[in-house]
Amino acid sequence: MELTGRTEQRDRTEQRDRTEQRDRTEQRDRTEQRDRTEQMDRTEQMDRTEQMDRTERTELRESAEGMCPARASRAFALSDRESLISRLESVGRIPDFEYLRAPQKGLIMVRGRAGGAGRLFNLCEALATRCSVRVNRRCGHAYVLGDDPAKALAAALASALYLDPDYSGKMASVVLELEGELDRKRELARRKAMETKVEFFTLARGEDDD
């Protein structure tokens, strides 16, 4: 999902969090999983972009079989800890797993571009937790924002199971549910922001002098 092109056309401001490439390897996993802050923009352009976003995703959804792992990782990483864990448990018994990297906390550099198109700058550092596990000979990796080892583990497990043919069907529907939840939250936040939308316009003055 490349946003830059659209951003330029529509001249809207959106702040994007991009996790710094702590290392090359994970960078690959993450390039497509750019976290975007849920910051709401009050312009109509934003509405249109959002709609597009959603249409695109619906199309992806129809071909759920070909869903890319990065998309699943994104859904796991952005979801609430509780809903992620409860959905993961609903999939069935979690097989024994082995840590490749037990949950560890660290700072990642958040970088951004003004207007989505300007020069890359370092915005701030953010606390993140990462974790990697192996389940049934498949590796799952997760990076989540904040100090949250339980969620990092759950997200890593979910990513690994997602790659496991025995679970991938169930996990794909988990991803769709989580995405639906994320969409609803986003929509709610957008509506809340729209309630306080103010239209500025120039009052006509002096023209009607009769």
> Least distance from C-beta 195 to another protein, angstroms?
42
Question: DSSP letters of 29-66?
Answer: HHGGG--B------SHHHHHHHHHHHHHHHHHHHTGGG
Instruction: Specify the length of the chain in residues.
Output: 210
The amino acid at residue 176 is L
Nearest-angstrom CA–CA distance, 206 and 210: 10
Nearest-angstrom CA–CA distance, 159 and 75: 10
> Least distance from C-beta 151 to another protein, angstroms?
19
- With respect to another protein, which residue has the nearer C-beta, 6 or 111? 111
> Least distance from C-beta 46 to another protein, angstroms?
33
> Least distance from C-beta 28 to another protein, angstroms?
7
In contact, 138 and 71? CB cutoff 8 Å: no
**178: burial class by Cβ within 10 Å (0-12, 13-18, 19+)?**
buried
> Least distance from C-beta 190 to another protein, angstroms?
32
> Least distance from C-beta 25 to another protein, angstroms?
5
- With respect to another protein, which residue has the nearer C-beta, 24 or 197? 24
- With respect to another protein, which residue has the nearer C-beta, 32 or 50? 32
The interaxial angle of helices 165-195 and 44-62, nearest 10 deg, is 160
- With respect to another protein, which residue has the nearer C-beta, 7 or 132? 132
Q: 3-state class of 113 per DSSP?
A: strand
Residue ranges binding another protein (CB under 8 A)? 22-26, 28-29, 69, 98-102, 104, 132, 134, 137-141, 159, 163
Region for residue 187 given its phi and psi (left: phi exceeds 0; alpha: psi -120 to 50; beta: otherwise): alpha
- With respect to another protein, which residue has the nearer C-beta, 46 or 160? 160
- With respect to another protein, which residue has the nearer C-beta, 69 or 115? 69
